[in-house]
Amino acid sequence: MRALFILSLFLFNSYLVVAQDTDSKPATRAIYAELGGVGLPYSFNYDFRFDKTRMDSWGMRVGFGGYAMEGDSFFSLPVMVNKLYGKGNHFFEMGFGATFLAFNNDTYTNCYYDQNGIYTCSSTSDAGTNFILDIDGSPSVMGVLNFGYRRMPTDGGFMWKINLNPIFNNNGFWPLFAGVGFGYAF
């Protein structure tokens, strides 16, 4: 009886191991932080593949980023469609999308005594800002492209990427903006 119990336990455990191997799916989602890149100064992103059974397929990424200091603030929301080309853990990543921007520049007040001795204040405000390219006003949109390398483990885990991200808007085109990202694939 004891031998039958041990044999049953062994067969049950073998079945579980085989079931786990056949049910494993590739890591088609990732969360990561990116310095530079399509989020502009930095961003936190969620990336997923439309086909959950293949890593080398079309997907999408959505993120947010920005900063706030000394009365100035900047918020970015990158949205991009991308495709991974490759096998195993190594992929060429190519994509296109838009980064939505909102910012607030401090209003500077210039106060002085005029020639008649009257204390006068005038406000000046920078209606636009500059981040690589001039941005006319807030809110605004920048077009973004993505060409780079992504190292993403097939079973999940630590992932990293490095990209060249040309950016453009109505004020011009900048082809040499880049980004690097680190995160977790699952």
Alpha-carbon gap, residue 152 to 143, rounded angstroms: 26
Element (H, E) at 157: strand 157-164
Return mean pLDDT, the chain: 82
Q: What is the band of 72 on the pLDDT scale with cuts at 50, 70, 90?
A: confident
- Position 127 scores a pLDDT of 52
Domain assignments of the chain as residue spans, ordered by start: 25-185
How far is it, in rounded angstroms, from Cα 39 to Cα 16? 43
For 18-24, the CB contacts below 8 A with 24+ separation are 24/155
* Total length of the chain: 186
Residue 64 burial by Cβ neighbours in a 10 Å radius (0-12, 13-18, 19+) = middle
H-type helices in the chain, by residue range?
2-23
Q: What is the CATH number of domain 25-185?
A: 2.40.160.20
Report CA Rg, the chain: 25
Who has greater pLDDT, 87 or 105? 87
Q: What is the pLDDT of residue 19?
A: 45
pTM: 0.73
Rounded to 10 degrees, what is the CA torsion of 148, 153, 159, 161? Answer: -10
Whether 175 shows a pLDDT value over 70: the answer reads yes
Structure token digits, residue 91: 């992929």
Residue with tokens 């004020």: 171
